[in-house]
Amino acid sequence: MAGPDPSPSTTPETSRGHASRIDRLYYTRPAPLLRGRRWLMFLAFVAALGWAGWALTDKSHQIAPGAVVAAHATWENDCQACHVPLSPIREGGWQEKVFAGSAPHPAKCEKCHALASHSPRQVPAEVGSCSSCHVDHRGREADISRVADTTCTACHGDIGAHSIAAAGEPKPVLPSVTRFDADHHPPFQSLAADPGRVKFSHGRHMRAGLTLGAGNGADKVAWTYARLPAADRARYVPAGVSETDLVQLDCAACHQFASDIPPDVLLGDLRPVSALLAGRAPGAIALPVEFERHCSACHQLPADASASAETATAAETGVAATSVAPETSAASQLPHGLDAGAIRRFLESRAVAALDAPPGGAPPGERPFPVAHIPEPPRDATSLDELRAGVDARRLFVRGVCEKCHQVDPVTLAADGSLVAAISGDRAPEEGWFGVGPSRIKMVWLEKARFDHSAHRSWSCRECHAGAYPPAMPPADVLASSPLDHGQVLIAGKESCLGCHAPRQREGVSGREFGGARFDCVECHGYHGHGHLPPLPVAP
């Protein structure tokens, strides 16, 4: 009995049957992938022809996307002034690998821009070329120094991983910065402490009458404009104010700008701040406070108790001592800014002049400094004891005068230059003298950033320096003393900046808008040399 026919699905296909299904003319018809490749080659050829035609008709724009910045316009038609043939402009691209042996591009920039390095702690291998940050050919008005924040935060976003220890120093722990706001930018390091050595109370000097006390001595009498020397009244007395009114100072009384002072009135030596004035816009920073220009109208420097009594008598009459007897006052006032040796010379000169004065008379009116004209007093023991006692009394008194405003340091002086040593013949070093060191008042507080007062003149000083103003006190509390705030930094921190330098926002409750001013990194910071200008010393 025959079985069932085998099913076609189960019958194995022979090789002949498999070959019969292959199209024998497949090689005469291109595959889709091959057709696409041929079209791409054709389009590339057409693009190359178009690029060549564009280069022939508009060569400059084909190579450069735009005009160079105005500062580089002189070399716009001289490409090799800035570019090296076959040398990549930026690092990190394929051109750098192909043309690795060509001359480096930064060499062209450094012919004109010889700038300091960013930081001794930077990693040399991570320092990019000039054009990696400053891209030109973006138009005449482009600001190629205003780079994107990413060029800064690429390292400062994790500064610990992108810094090394300076020679001989441990690696510092630096805060990372990703943007300027309350959470991602540290407090201003320059405001951490005040290096100044001057005792000055802003609160006391900003009150009407300058002092909070009353009576009990000349320094407790409220000052009126009539007590100022006549030469200073024109500057301090506001329009429409009587000379019998109490003196009311404001910030501009001491913090002046070169742009606000007429050339014929600008006093003092500006050589120490010439770099500040030359490197910044007019009105950007305040000139240093100077004793002769800002303090001497009210603050006398009596050289002994008799000169102090003269000042007190003048204060009771309501006028300054220099207005009563200028020739006597000049002789009795200690010049400001003397070192320890000069202070000793001056006080010894005044003590010698006092011994040489007629009985019951006053010392000569001419200032006893220098003292070459003073006759030598007798060498007897009594006169020497009186001379030493007079010098010691004046030294103790003047030290107290200096300590009211300055920090003084003990000094031991050699006998050379001493009048007492020359008269007595004693060549032993003298102890107990003192010197007033540098004031160390900062000329520029934000040392690693840029701040321009002229751009903020529409704001009240109180907006940023509220701590310099005295607190409101009721009349019954006029005898209270104002705290000496010389240890407090009254410069505004980042909190006062964030009200403007932030994205424009609207407060949810009040609806008040704030922010809107630029807050990118280069608005306040520079890269080369840690800032827009090299660090500057404090005032001596």
The whole-number pLDDT of residue 275 equals 58
Report the b/e string of 202-225 with b at 16+ CB within 10 A.
bbbbbbebbbbbeeeebeebbbbb
Identify whether 419 is part of a domain. Answer: yes
CB-based contact 211:491 (threshold 8 Å): no
The whole-number pLDDT of residue 530 equals 53
Q: What is the pTM of this model?
A: 0.71
The whole-number pLDDT of residue 539 equals 46
Instruction: Tell me which residue of 521, 529, 524, 501 sits closest to 451, measured CA to CA.
Output: 524
Domain end residue (candidates: 147, 162, 177) = 162
Cα–Cα distance between 115 and 9 in angstroms, integer? 85
Segment 488-503, tens digit of pLDDT: 888 888 988 998 999 9
Identify whether 413 is part of a domain. Answer: yes
Number of C-beta neighbours around residue 136 at 10 A: 19
CB-based contact 159:174 (threshold 8 Å): yes
At 367, list the tokens.
């200032």
Do 340 and 425 belong together in one domain? yes
Beta-sheet pairing, 430-436 with 408-413: antiparallel
The whole-number pLDDT of residue 42 equals 92
Number of domains in the chain: 3
Counting Cβ atoms within 10 Å, is residue 257 exposed (0-12), middle (13-18) or buried (19+)? middle
Do 42 and 86 belong together in one domain? no
Do 368 and 413 belong together in one domain? yes
Q: What domain range includes position 125?
A: 70-162
Domain end residue (candidates: 114, 133, 162) = 162
DSSP symbols for 157-222: TTGGGGB-PPTTSPPP-----SSSSTTTSPPPGGGS-----B---HHHHTSTTS-S--SSSGGGSP
Identify whether 436 is part of a domain. Answer: yes
What three-state secondary structure class fits 18?
helix
Cα–Cα distance between 113 and 526 in angstroms, integer? 14
DSSP symbols for 76-138: TT-GGGT--TT--SSSSSHHHHHTTTSPPTHHHHTTT-----S-TTB-GGG---GGGT----S
**Residues 6 or more apart whose Cβ sits within 8 Å of residue 511:** none
Check residue 406 and report its DSSP letter: B
Cα–Cα distance between 77 and 25 in angstroms, integer? 61
The whole-number pLDDT of residue 343 equals 94
Cα–Cα distance between 347 and 161 in angstroms, integer? 60
Mean pLDDT by 10 residues, the chain (540 residues): 54 72 73 84 92 74 79 88 74 56 64 81 85 87 92 92 81 88 91 88 84 50 84 84 89 83 57 59 81 87 73 47 42 87 91 70 47 51 83 93 92 89 85 90 84 88 86 49 65 89 85 88 83 44
Specify which residues 410 forms β-bridges with: 434
Identify whether 349 is part of a domain. Answer: yes
Cα–Cα distance between 276 and 62 in angstroms, integer? 44
The whole-number pLDDT of residue 265 equals 55
The whole-number pLDDT of residue 153 equals 94
Identify whether 90 is part of a domain. Answer: yes
Cα–Cα distance between 449 and 533 in angstroms, integer? 9
Instruction: Tell me which residue of 385, 387, 392, 389 sits closest to 374, measured CA to CA.
Output: 387
Identify whether 384 is part of a domain. Answer: yes
Identify whether 77 is part of a domain. Answer: yes
Identify whether 376 is part of a domain. Answer: yes
Do 75 and 51 belong together in one domain? no
Would you tell me the crossing angle of helices 305-317 and 381-403 to the nearest 10 degrees? 50
The whole-number pLDDT of residue 472 equals 66
Q: Indicate the Cα dihedral angle 12, 13, 14, 16, nearest 10°.
A: 170
Counting Cβ atoms within 10 Å, is residue 363 exposed (0-12), middle (13-18) or buried (19+)? buried
What three-state secondary structure class fits 374?
coil
Do 343 and 431 belong together in one domain? yes
Cα–Cα distance between 287 and 258 in angstroms, integer? 7
Domain end residue (candidates: 385, 414, 440) = 440
Do 425 and 356 belong together in one domain? yes
Specify which residues 242 forms β-bridges with: none
Do 100 and 53 belong together in one domain? no
Instruction: Tell me which residue of 304, 373, 366, 306 sits closest to 334, measured CA to CA.
Output: 304
